[in-house]
Structure 1
Amino acid sequence: MLEVRDLNVSYGPAQAVRGVSFELDRGQTLGVAGESGCGKSTMALSLLRLLPDTAHVTGRVLFEGEDLLTARWARLRAVRWNAASVVFQGAMSALNPVRTVGDQICEPILLHERVSVKAARRRAAELLDAVGVPARRARDYPHEFSGGQRQRIMIAMALACRPDLIVADEPTTALDVMVQAQILRLLGDLVRESGIGVIMISHDLAVLAQMCERLAVMYAGRIVETGPARELIADPRHPYTRALARAFPTIGDPASRLAPEGLPGDPPRIADLGGGCAFAPRCASADAACRTRSVELWPSGRDRAAACLRVLEGEAS
């Protein structure tokens, strides 16, 4: 359904996304993980050309065989909401504060399906019920809902036109653990029942492991490891993935709960990246070759790949 090839996004001399490639089929869930500033959201928004005019995007984004990066604006507008939609990070800022939530859900339905207002409102009521928000509240405004309810409303909007693809950018950020679990269960049910494809972005590996079949870990604008979610977290091949996994305490393990491992240093500034592995300055096992040799994704097991020289040399554990 979706095929991304050599995607690059730059803002002037700073390249925020560098050579990202992946595929997604119907009914599949792909998680994208990494620290803040690694390029996750930039990559996701570039798929539907939602970045500002200052961004320069190259590569190919094939959706149902059609390259969205070269599609005419009229065609792109037809794809947005109707075939592919986005659950934005921060529902309060994404929702219009002066319009009722029912009207906002109805808008893409009326635009793309050209049905009557009555039919659109009926569909909006069904969507609200489906995501656990009482349909009678369709006439309320965003500020009258809790954070978790607003996030559910954003999911209802994303589903309004029955898309084949949903890009969820940090859909559970700032939610308590109970509401987070409900949102994840809702998304999982939608994938199973509707067969939609989901790209889910998060800094939380535990959330992605619960929700997604596959993971792609990003660092400094590149994918540094990919593979089945549970395998990747249980046995990471890239030092960065290993550090992310160890930063989360393990339930029932007092040692990890009392002293979870962190990651020294800070992510690099994109404008300062040079040759070699971008993670080398923070990697305990880096050597001189890591700082000079070009690094790419190499096979690291069945259906897995990692951008690490140790993998290429067969030394990854």
Structure 2
Amino acid sequence: MSRTIYSLWLAVLAVYSFWISLAHAVSGQEPLKGATEGRGYNLGEPIPVSCLNRTVETGEHITDASGQLQYVPFPTCNETGRPLELFFGVEQSLNCTLDFISDPFFHLLEFYIHNDAPLSCRIPSKPLPPSVLEKDFREVDETTQEGALGSQSSLYTPLVVALSGTLQLSHLHVGNDLNLLVHAKPKSEDPGTIDAATAYSIASHTRNARVTIGDSLSLHFSVRWYPSTTLPPGWSGYGGHLYKSTFLYCLLSAGASAAICVAYFRGVELPRRLKRYAGDRMGVGRGGGYGLPVANGRGNGYGGYGYGIGTGNGKRID
């Protein structure tokens, strides 16, 4: 009996040890999961924006000793007191006012506007793991970079901001109204995942901000989200083609013209013609004659009450 109890106790101990080992193995693998294996964004969840760190002397990107690119948070917005953030699936007009344009940032703006260096930013494709969020943006995270040139891994989606404007000797004109487009992967494939993004200045020649060192700069983003990588058609052209509206307009115009013509004919022209025809018929019986040609070119007429003979002087003898 004691041997049976001992064997049963060993079996229970073996099963317990197996479950403990399995739990340790699973917990040891959890930190290895990347963003591609994690959850997607929820509607309205904030998305931080970070940008490539560049030197103010040449505009070249800054790398560490291992050749990895460094990213820093987008400048702090006065409206929120935080760096620029997007919100998943939320279309809005987003304002970000930079209180003070420092001398280094002013020179970076010159590079961006002159297209000597792009304003290269990035956003997480999915919510970042806590291990990445705890790191300082200024430190290079080897799990989020690939290669010496810093090509983006699946953790991030590139967001290149095409900033337009005009360079002057003492100041800049910055196209501060921007469209910001974000594509999410189809919900059926990978819900809550960002697939592509871009931003660009619009109407930079008419809607811009004059900036000097020490000024503030207000950036206005018109954020639009698309549920797939395909843009919906929106171009209707400047004319020169037959559209449904044009065809309907022509049809209505033709109908209105026909109705006016019918009303005029039946209300004005037809009664006038009938009256004229009736007058002509009545005039034959009252005194109009039937002229017969004679040698001198004048005619004899049979009057209503007798016969008329033409004379040489043009008078008629009854």
Which of the five TM-score ranges fits, normalised by the shorter chain? under 0.3
- Give TM-score scaled by structure 1 length: 0.21
Structure number with the higher helix fraction is 1
Structure (1 or 2) with the larger CA radius of gyration: 2
Greater percentage in strand: 2
TM-score, L = length of structure 2 = 0.21
Q: Relative contact order, CA 8 A, sep 6+: which one is greater?
A: 1
